[in-house]
Amino acid sequence: MAGGNFDAPDTGGKGKDKNKVKGRGVHIDMTPMVDVIMLLLTFFMLTTTLAAPQLMKISLPKGDVKDKVKVDMGNVLFVRVSEKGNVFFAMGKSDGSETPLEKIETKNVATKLEALFAQNNNLLLLLKFDRKMKYNVMADIFDEISRAKIEKRYAFLKMDPTDIEKINALGG
């Protein structure tokens, strides 16, 4: 048996220093720890539920002829949003016309709506968005409308070329 009597004293062979202790450094094998970390990471990635995207539910009417509603134009507020994201308000008049466009900052939409609803609580918002504008602008407008302490009655209309001309005349 090849063996080593480890308890036996060193006999001090040729060229060896008896007082010198051969130091052995501490070595920790990190491979199992990395394996465990990867397994934990994989486990948490697979079992974590990610935040569901927030969707805006909009129920649109079918548009049948019998669904049309007569509205007094004096109770209508036109909200137009340009391609650049500028917001314009115009009040409807009972004769079918409307007041000149007024540019409103997006952050002031809620306070302006509250002031207009204080004057006329039967107000209906007709929202007209330019198809080329960015989606986040529309979401910001909806946030401002929902932030306003008003009865939320609104409808969407297609922006006509005349609307675009009016907006462009004011700098879009």
Q: pLDDT tens, 39-91?
A: 999 999 888 877 777 777 777 667 666 666 677 788 888 889 988 888 999 88
Calpha distance 103→111 (Å, rounded): 14
CATH of segment(s) 72-169: 3.30.420.60
Give the per-residue pLDDT at 20. 63
Calpha distance 117→153 (Å, rounded): 11
The pTM of the whole model exceeds 0.85: no
The token pair at 24 is 């052995």
What is the pLDDT confidence band of residue 167, given thresholds at 50, 70 and 90? confident
Give the per-residue pLDDT at 67. 62
Distance of CA 16 to the CA centre of its chain: 74
| Mean pLDDT of the 101-127 span | 87
Contact predicate 72/94, CB 8 Å: yes
Number of helical (H) and strand (E) elements in the chain, helices listed first: 4, 5
The yes-or-no verdict on residue 11 having pLDDT over 80 is: no
Q: Where are the domains of the chain?
A: 72-169
**Phi, psi dihedrals of residue 167, rounded to the nearest 5°:** -70, -45
Give the per-residue pLDDT at 53. 73
